[in-house]
Amino acid sequence: MHKPRAIETIATHLGLLLLAAFVLVPVWGLVYLAFDGGIRGWPTTFRVWPEQLTLSIFREMWQRPGQSLTFLGTLRNSLVVSGGAAAMSLALGASMAYAFARMRFPGRRAGLFALLVGSLLPPVALMVPLYMLLTVVGLRTSLLGLTIVYASFSMPFCIWNMRAAFQSVPLEIEEAAYLDGASSLRAFLSISLPLALPAVAVAALVAFLIGYSEFALGWLFVERSSNVTLAMAISGILTGGTVAWSRLAALSVLMCAPVIVVFFALQRYLLRGLVVGQAGD
């Protein structure tokens, strides 16, 4: 009776170990490249430990990862753009998501479908209209313009994700607040929004990552070296002739640090937000 169960347990653990190795081995490959000063060109072998352990590559990337900025300068630009895109997506997306979840109005389903189609479009399909629009309003070459671009890409997901969270909040709780004299805005801010906070955290993280990791559109909307982001600096290393793989790995490790900090700051909400059920219309 117990033998099949033991075999099943062993097989499950082996599968999990293989999955963990599949995820962690490439990560370790990135880390050891960042600390290996003996690599001058393309890495031809995978090592468990760096051949020449050094921190000089990190010092070089800290002082000048690309263009004329230091690491802190490019990090500032990345945080301004990604943090601004996340804040803009949440501020505008939360109210739209609540309206789609609670209100019935003409064009509601068409609007939801349009948002879904918009989220499926590749960013390259929107490059030309965004370029023209931001040029007209005079924001194309600014960090604010790039923030608007990234917010437009992340907002459809944020709206759909937060709409499901608002639908899972019992309507009776809001109705009780109305009976106590609360306005619609007060009920939204004091009841619905706090109860949907896990989904809001997931939407914030996704919007942040979109702005933090994107670089292809960045080169279209950024002309001054003072506005280069970390993702653009990494792409510059890849397209700058001979690729210095150790420098690329070191800058990638440094770039991951803020993401890890953001994840740990939101982790108490993220797991709850990922399992928010889809409520029906």
Cβ count within 10 A of residue 119: 15
pLDDT confidence band for 42 (50 / 70 / 90): low
227 and 92 within one domain:
yes
Q: Which alpha helices (DSSP H) does the chain contain, by range?
A: 2-35, 56-63, 71-102, 108-120, 127-137, 143-168, 171-179, 184-187, 193-195, 197-213, 216-221, 230-238, 245-274
Residue 61 near residue 254 (C-beta atoms within 8 A):
yes
Cβ count within 10 A of residue 67: 15
Radius of gyration over every alpha carbon of the chain, rounded to an integer in angstroms: 23
- CA dist 208 and 197 (Å) reads 16
Two tokens, residue 198? 């896990």
31 and 72 within one domain:
no
Task: Give the pLDDT confidence score for residue 242 in this predicted structure.
Answer: 57
Q: Domain of residue 22: give its range.
A: 1-54
pLDDT digit string, tens, across residues 105-143: 888 888 888 888 877 888 778 888 888 888 888 888 889
- CA dist 51 and 43 (Å) reads 12
Closest alpha carbon to 262 in 216, 217, 212: 212
Task: Give the pLDDT confidence score for residue 236 in this predicted structure.
Answer: 78
Locate tokens 């004299």: which residue? 181
152 and 28 within one domain:
no
- CA dist 19 and 13 (Å) reads 10
70 and 43 within one domain:
no
List Cβ neighbours of 272 (8 Å cut-off, separation of 6 or more). Answer: 198
Task: Give the pLDDT confidence score for residue 86 in this predicted structure.
Answer: 92
Per the structure, the count of domains in the chain is: 2
In a domain, residue 281? The reply is no
User: Which of the residue ranges 36-40, 41-45, 253-257 has the most confident prediction, judged by mean pLDDT?
Assistant: 253-257
210 and 257 within one domain:
yes
pLDDT digit string, tens, across residues 145-169: 899 999 988 888 889 888 888 888 8
Angle between helices 108-120 and 71-102 (to 10 degrees): 150
In a domain, residue 279? The reply is no
Task: Give the pLDDT confidence score for residue 277 in this predicted structure.
Answer: 43
Comparison of pLDDT for 88 and 271, the residue scoring more: 88
* pTM for this predicted structure: 0.80
186 and 94 within one domain:
yes
Task: Give the pLDDT confidence score for residue 44 in this predicted structure.
Answer: 67
Q: What are phi and psi of 66, to 5 degrees?
A: 175, 155
75 and 44 within one domain:
no
